[in-house]
Chain A
Amino acid sequence: MIERRLNNGFSLAEFIVSLGLFLILTSSLAGTLMIGMRCYQASDVDVDFQKSVRDTIEAISNDVRQAVPDDAPGLFGNPATGYKSITPSISPTGVLYPNVNEASTNYIIFNKPDYSYYNPTLASWVPLDPRNFRKIRYFVQNDNEIIREVTLFNSDGSVASTHQDSQAIVEEGSIQLICSMQYSDDMNPFYRVRVIVSEEEKTFSLSANCRIPGGDY
């Protein structure tokens, strides 16, 4: 009886065969899993990439939609801070560039209220105070970074300060910003902002149309 029981155990050959089968099975499973994971990661990177481009275009277009025409003339020898500074003249607008003179640009410049000063509900509000508005400029630097530049003004129209923030950066690749001015059917202008990002062999492009609520006088 004892002899038969020992014969029923694993022989070395059986163990090696079963181990081999197990390894083949698990390695093929792991291989499939790895391919799946790589696909998942690749699509995840693509989704992140697209989301980043979408976030960037949303941030810029949301900013542009808050543009307001700046009427401040040049004061005390300083140049006008709003649309009056542009030659040939353009219609009153919050977006300075692009405009009818330059319908397509690789940057966008607009005036946005500085709510520390801009408050038309107050009787004491001074519409022509250059401090009512900040000038915002989005542009591409070094082909791979979108910069948001903010210029603040003093009450005499001189520049108080300028600072820049990185809004979007592509580590290995390039980024483009294309802005254009167009007219809708009711002849009010709107602005198309387009961001194109290329990274490795991938290129994504998204655009947003910005109509300026306060800009269609």
Chain B
Amino acid sequence: MSTTKRIKALNKSGSALLYTLLCIAMLSVITMGLAGISMTQSKISRDYYDSTKLLYVARAGMTRALSELARDSSWPSTSPYVGTLPFGGQTASYSITVTPAAGNSNNTYKVWEVTSSASLGNSNRTVRAIIESEALTKYVMFTDSAMWLWGRSETSDSYNGPIHTNKYFGFWGKPEFDSPLTSSNKDDSYYNSEKRKYTQDEYVTYDPSLFYHYVFGYSYDEPIASTGSNNFYFAGGQPEKYLSTNTTSQEANATYIIAGNATVTFLDAGGVEVVTESGTQIYSTDKVTLYINGTVQVSGTVNGEVTLACSDEVYITDNLVYSDKTLDVLAIVAEGNIMLYTEPEDIRDIEINAMLYSLNGNFSVNRFYEGAPRGVLYLYGGVFQKNQGGIGKCDTWTGELEHGYSKNFVLDPRFLSRPPDNIPVTGRIRIKAWRDNVAPLYIN
């Protein structure tokens, strides 16, 4: 090639290179900018993804704690408990710390504070929960057997609080309620639990609000909301709640154990007087469990926090009230019946402030089917019984009270937040309070 041609070729190469370099430079700047934005977005997404993953790992740790504590209330043997979890090709770990409440070891009702921390690489997230034994305190009336309720406009029976039966409800007329009613329909021949199907006479339904027994028909016999109440609903086919059959736990954890039959009188000034064959003794009522190996007659004014348990029957012989309804608490747990032992001639209203548990019997009134109407039985607490007991007897057609007491039962909701020691529990544990602190987020 000659020198002239070589120079010409070089001139052409030079201009193309200039343009190419300019284009490459521009594209490079744009690409780097886009890559920067993309990387930032990618990092934000990854952080969010990791945080979400860690939340689920921490929750898995909490679920593990719930499962283990239901099985063994002293779990874990060494704290914190560390577990691992395969997660999207990586291995996440969680650390569980359990702090039991003071007094858990001698109480049927137990509380724990549980912390579950999850970590993955350099990231971590923590959730906390207060976990408790599920106490049987939710209902104003509960039976482990079928419960029949009559409804006539003239009747003055009143229930303020949820009602539950492990079997089924039977309704005659249209009883009114201002709180939810639920049934488990256990051993109910009309109920097919697998298909959640209810068959009564020619009626076939899948609607839980119709899972009850009627006398004449659904249009004649049904539970309805009382005037002004929005809180009522009826639902059958609900989970069964376990009612213990013995007081073994109460006896094992008792503060005081008394042998033989006893007459128990709560003293307004505080303390409780217990009279037995062997003499009279005053015991404290400051967060105590009193266990009596025999039958009990009880009355008085409660000043303190007491669980009164016994191996036999309990007779409430007169008013049994709190000195202060905001502070004082009484639970009565009997293996046998609990009876309001007043005579038919004793015409007056009676007030009972207590949560009553008849584990193998019922709560009833002495000779409730005799004499003139005695008055109103005011119960502030709840009734948990194996079988439905008689409180009064109404005229079948008019609904007017003929014998015994009409009922005014009001649930004491304090038992929900902090039940007294050694109250019957269902065997389940549940989350009482959930705590998950994440940074506050804002728009703009």
Residues on A facing B (Cβ under 8 Å): 1, 4-5, 8-10, 18, 22, 26, 33, 40, 44, 52-53, 55-56, 58-59, 62, 65-66, 68-69, 71, 73, 75, 84, 88-92, 100-101, 113, 115, 118-123, 125, 127-128, 165-171, 183, 186-187, 197, 213-214, 217
Q: Is B344 an interface residue (CB 8 A)?
A: no
Which residues of chain B from 10 to 47 have a CB within 8 Å of any chain A CB? 11, 15, 19, 23, 26, 30, 34, 37
Smallest CB-CB A-B distances: 8 pairs? A55-B441, A213-B431, A121-B101, A127-B418, A52-B443, A168-B443, A100-B230, A213-B434
Partner of B179, one of A5, A91, A183: A91
Q: Are the C-beta atoms of B443 and A197 separated by less than 8 Å? A: yes
Residues of A contacting B112 with CB < 8 Å? 121
Partner of A171, one of B7, B327, B444: B444
Q: Are the C-beta atoms of B228 and A88 separated by less than 8 Å? A: yes
Q: Is B8 an interface residue (CB 8 A)?
A: yes
B162 to chain A minimum Cβ distance, whole angstroms, is 7
Tell me, in angstroms, the Cα distance from A123 to B112 when the chains sit together: 12
Q: Are the C-beta atoms of A5 and B8 separated by less than 8 Å? A: yes
B17 to chain A minimum Cβ distance, whole angstroms, is 14
Q: Are the C-beta atoms of A120 and B132 separated by less than 8 Å? A: yes
Residues of B contacting A73 with CB < 8 Å? 326
Quick one: CB contact mask for B257-301 with A, threshold 8 Å, 1 for yes?
Answer: 000000000000000000000000000000000000000000000
Quick one: CB contact mask for B174-218 with A, threshold 8 Å, 1 for yes?
Answer: 000011101000000000000000000000000000000000000
Tell me, in angstroms, the Cα distance from A111 to B4 when the chains sit together: 92
Tell me, in angstroms, the Cα distance from A13 to B26 when the chains sit together: 26
Q: Are the C-beta atoms of B233 and A5 separated by less than 8 Å? A: no
Tell me, in angstroms, the Cα distance from A59 to B442 when the chains sit together: 9
Residues of A contacting B433 with CB < 8 Å? 66, 68, 113, 118, 120, 213-214
Q: Is B371 an interface residue (CB 8 A)?
A: no
Residues of A contacting B162 with CB < 8 Å? 91
Quick one: CB contact mask for B148-186 with A, threshold 8 Å, 1 for yes?
Answer: 000000000000101000000000000000111010000
B3 to chain A minimum Cβ distance, whole angstroms, is 8
Q: Are the C-beta atoms of B414 and A127 separated by less than 8 Å? A: yes
27 CB-based A-B contacts, threshold 8 Å: A5-B7, A40-B34, A52-B443, A56-B443, A58-B438, A58-B441, A59-B440, A66-B435, A75-B326, A84-B413, A88-B228, A89-B160, A91-B231, A92-B416, A100-B230, A120-B111, A120-B432, A121-B130, A127-B417, A128-B326, A168-B442, A169-B443, A183-B233, A187-B238, A197-B443, A214-B434, A217-B416
Q: Are the C-beta atoms of B441 and A169 separated by less than 8 Å? A: no
Quick one: CB contact mask for B116-158 with A, threshold 8 Å, 1 for yes?
Answer: 0000000000000110100000100000000000000000000
B441 to chain A minimum Cβ distance, whole angstroms, is 4
Minimum CB distance partner of A113 in chain B: B433
If A5-B8, A187-B180 touch, does A69 touch B434 (CB 8 Å cutoff)?
A: no
Q: Is B80 an interface residue (CB 8 A)?
A: no
Q: Are the C-beta atoms of A88 and B229 separated by less than 8 Å? A: yes
Q: Are the C-beta atoms of A1 and B442 separated by less than 8 Å? A: no
Q: Is B239 an interface residue (CB 8 A)?
A: yes
Tell me, in angstroms, the Cα distance from A75 to B4 when the chains sit together: 108
Tell me, in angstroms, the Cα distance from A44 to B37 when the chains sit together: 10
Tell me, in angstroms, the Cα distance from A98 to B213 when the chains sit together: 33
Tell me, in angstroms, the Cα distance from A190 to B416 when the chains sit together: 19
Q: Are the C-beta atoms of A59 and B435 separated by less than 8 Å? A: no
Q: Is B408 an interface residue (CB 8 A)?
A: no
Q: Is B103 an interface residue (CB 8 A)?
A: yes
Residues of B contacting A62 with CB < 8 Å? 436, 438
Minimum CB distance partner of A148 in chain B: B440
Q: Is B224 an interface residue (CB 8 A)?
A: no
Residues of B contacting A40 with CB < 8 Å? 34
Tell me, in angstroms, the Cα distance from A170 to B443 when the chains sit together: 7
Tell me, in angstroms, the Cα distance from A122 to B235 when the chains sit together: 37
Q: Is B1 an interface residue (CB 8 A)?
A: no
B330 to chain A minimum Cβ distance, whole angstroms, is 16
Q: Is B99 an interface residue (CB 8 A)?
A: yes
Residues of B contacting A165 with CB < 8 Å? 440
Given contact pairs A59-B441, A113-B435, A170-B444, a sample of 20 additional A-B residue pairs in the complex whose CB atoms are under 8 Å apart? A8-B11, A9-B11, A18-B15, A52-B442, A56-B441, A56-B442, A65-B434, A66-B433, A88-B231, A91-B179, A101-B230, A113-B433, A120-B130, A122-B101, A127-B418, A165-B440, A166-B442, A187-B180, A214-B130, A214-B431
Q: Are the C-beta atoms of A186 and B441 separated by less than 8 Å? A: no
Tell me, in angstroms, the Cα distance from A100 to B327 when the chains sit together: 29
Tell me, in angstroms, the Cα distance from A50 to B370 when the chains sit together: 72
Q: Are the C-beta atoms of B101 and A120 separated by less than 8 Å? A: yes
Residue among B4, B23, B229, B432 with the highest chain A CB neighbour number at 10 A: B432
Residues of A contacting B235 with CB < 8 Å? 187
Q: Are the C-beta atoms of B238 and A122 separated by less than 8 Å? A: no
Q: Are the C-beta atoms of A128 and B99 separated by less than 8 Å? A: no
Q: Is B50 an interface residue (CB 8 A)?
A: no
Residues of A contacting B103 with CB < 8 Å? 123
Tell me, in angstroms, the Cα distance from A9 to B417 when the chains sit together: 96
Residues of A contacting B399 with CB < 8 Å? none
A23 to chain B minimum Cβ distance, whole angstroms, is 12
Q: Is B389 an interface residue (CB 8 A)?
A: no
B99 to chain A minimum Cβ distance, whole angstroms, is 6
